[in-house]
Structure 1
């Protein structure tokens, strides 16, 4: 690969698995990814989703960090409007103190939940409007001088945990450029604005104390398998799983029902979400990633895999690392 590779671990809870099984799988993936040579692993904050176990994102990062030694770990991302900036500074300051030079803090402004869950979290619906100011307040808590007189993050102050702005629209690109922060675009599920967002970010980027030049991370889906037939079978299973997750309202559809829904207007939206997907043998996937990196004008790629079978899920990341000739972290 011409650019570094990272992983977005969706911390999924497979059929018949417990939450503990999901956590164990995340640890195993991180331990192997460290050996395989991936740059970093990120975990996303989601709430009220029975198939995703990364809601307490900082706690999961700490658990995985304690069971690995070198690979960078972080959030992709923490949904900052759900939290007070001081609280996140203290959490990630703690992580950075326990695991120096290994912790990233990716920030998003989406709720990561539905309306009922937002109310259960006591979230202010207008809090997303304060996102730019909250990012700056959080950054200051992690630096040497707080923006709030008399308030200091302990732990946190002086750790300088690197911030990343996550986005799926032009807003995130503009904010990351204005603040001089790295920008990660969620093209693995929201592909439409990728090229325009990256162009705006690179054009308007202003150097900062954290970053001298633009740094773009682009997301995509990857399913690598020993045969193309197996990869395509896994890809179909992944899309069927998404149908149940996004349209099922707690109900799991049969394969026949899922296929019918995939052909419906609602299903076409799910197919659109997987626009950027590298599926096939390792060589095919490697060629796709090389082309996608150029298309996205990316400095780094972060790959997600929705493979529902655990061993195939691990195997996909292993095959990608082998064909990309990654060096151990």
Structure 2
């Protein structure tokens, strides 16, 4: 059994609120900790009514206070949106609050259009070109170095575990060059999964951080008592994905039985592509599909993505999944 972790988008459901979503994420993190998951990551998204994790470091502080042992981190911080000095301060502070538990996953994609770039007062396209240098600056600040003659006392000596995230080959190459662990976003962008894993392992250069590659792959997972019930619950996430791809993202909607049968061919094809890296069904089905995914990727760790309209169903899914993978084949 390899380590399993959790990726949380902090979804806001119809009829709910940001405050409710953050409170439910803390409860889900507690459930993940009890079940034995390794990490609990929150993803940075902005300007989306259905996602409440935009102030990622603040949400992580709340989750850290609600838990005691599980690692917590950003999966990830979209670094072009930020000044690396400020991120060093934020995550160094998190490490001071929760020593030895903090991860910092870094992504190059801004995840923003021109309107958000204006709101952030950033030239995000230009900032994304400086991503490798900004990653190196962050690592230097955590090592206690003064960059450009300015120190970051909150970051100096912090035991923050840095990761490179990606959905293409760029992140794989950078993680390999810097000798950092690498996580691939195969839960929504599976096309280059196998090639990225190969490139990362083939080009990996040992560093003070790692002496050999460490690869984590993301997979959509939703477990329920039966296959039918799991697919029904997963229709909430399916609706969110289709809405996002059609340019009309919103809050999480209640599940719909037979939702896939209502979709036009183009939407169904997009959904099937995203769902190609998934384990959805009864505990037996989920275990079988996770086992197959591990054999395919040779991943050192999996991070599970998914959401349900009822947060309690997501917590139950995490429990069922962990119990299933612990059972002997």
Per the normalisation by structure 1, the TM-score is 0.93
Seen in structure 2, the aligned counterparts of structure 1 residues 150 and 251 have a Cα distance that, compared at 3 Å, is: closer
Residue 307 of structure 1 aligns with which residue? Answer: 308
Partner of 1:277: 278
Matched, 1:179 2:178: yes
Provide, for residues 274-321 of structure 1, a one-character-per-residue CA deviation record: whole Å limited to 9, x for no partner: 211101111110111111012112000000113222221111111112
Instruction: Tell me if the contact between 1:225 and 1:280 (Cα under 8 Å) persists in the aligned partners.
Output: yes
Describe the SS at the equivalent of 1:210: coil
Q: Structure 1 residues 249, 149: CA separation in 2 closer, same or farther (over 3 Å shift)? A: closer
Who is 1:320 aligned against? Answer: 321
Q: Any idea what SS the aligned residue of 1:230 has?
A: helix
Instruction: Give the equivalent residue in structure 2 for 1:134.
Output: 134
CA distance in 1, matches of 2:232, 2:94: 39
CA positional deviation for 1:119: 1.8
Alignment partner, residue 291 of structure 1: 292
Q: Which residue in the other structure is 2:83 paired with? A: 84
CA 258–323 in structure 1, closer or farther in 2 if over 3 Å, else same: closer
The answer (yes or no) to whether the contact 1:41–1:71 under 8 Å persists in 2 is yes
Which residue in 1 is equivalent to 2:64? 65
Alignment check: 8 A CA contact 1:244 1:258 kept: no
Unaligned runs of 5+ in 2: none
Contact 1:95–1:103 (Cα < 8 Å) also in 2: yes
Cα deviation digits, residues 54-92 of structure 1 (max 9, x gap):
000011001110111111000000000111111000000
For the aligned residues, what is the CA RMSD? 2.1
Any conservation in 1 of the 2:50–2:249 contact (CA below 8 Å)? Answer: no
Residue 250 and residue 133 in structure 1: after superposition, are their counterparts in 2 closer, same or farther (change >3 A)?
closer
Asked if the contact 1:243/1:261 (under 8 Å) is kept, the reply is no
**Structure 1, 289-298 or 90-99: larger mean CA deviation:** 289-298
Using the alignment, how far apart are the partners of 2:35 and 2:170 within structure 1?
35
1:91-116 deviations in whole A, cap 9, x for unaligned?
A: 00000011100000000011123331
- Contact 2:232/2:258 (<8 A) preserved: no
1:19 equivalent in structure 2:
18
Per the alignment, do residues 309 and 245 of structure 1 end up closer, same or farther by CA in structure 2, a change over 3 Å counting?
farther
Q: Residue 278 of structure 1: SS of its match in structure 2?
A: strand
Q: TM-score, normalised by structure 2?
A: 0.93
Q: Is the 8 A contact 2:240 2:249 kept in 1?
A: no
- Alignment check: 8 A CA contact 2:165 2:182 kept: yes
Alpha-carbon distance, 1:231 to partner: 1.0
Asked whether the equivalents of residues 262 and 270 of structure 1 are also in contact (C-alpha less than 8 Å), the reply is: no
- Report the 3-state secondary structure (helix = DSSP H, G, I; strand = E; otherwise coil) of the residue aligned with 1:12: coil
Worse overlay, 228-237 or 150-159: 228-237
- Give 1:250 shift: 5.5
Cα distance between partner residues in 1 of 2:250 and 2:90? 35
For 1:168, the equivalent position in structure 2 comes to 167
Give the 3-state SS of the residue equivalent to 2:60 in structure 1.
Answer: helix
Q: Distance in 2 between matches of 1:258 and 1:294?
A: 31
Preserved CA contact (<8 Å) 2:106 2:162 = yes
Task: Quote the offset at 1:164 in angstroms.
Answer: 0.2
**Residues of 1 paired with 2:319 and 2:312: CA distance?**
10
SS of alignment partner, residue 193 of structure 1 = helix
CA contact (8 A) 1:240 1:259 kept: no
**CA drift at 1:324:** 2.3
Tell me if structure 1 keeps the 8 A contact 2:187–2:277. Answer: yes
| 2: CA distance, partners of 1:271 / 1:200 | 26
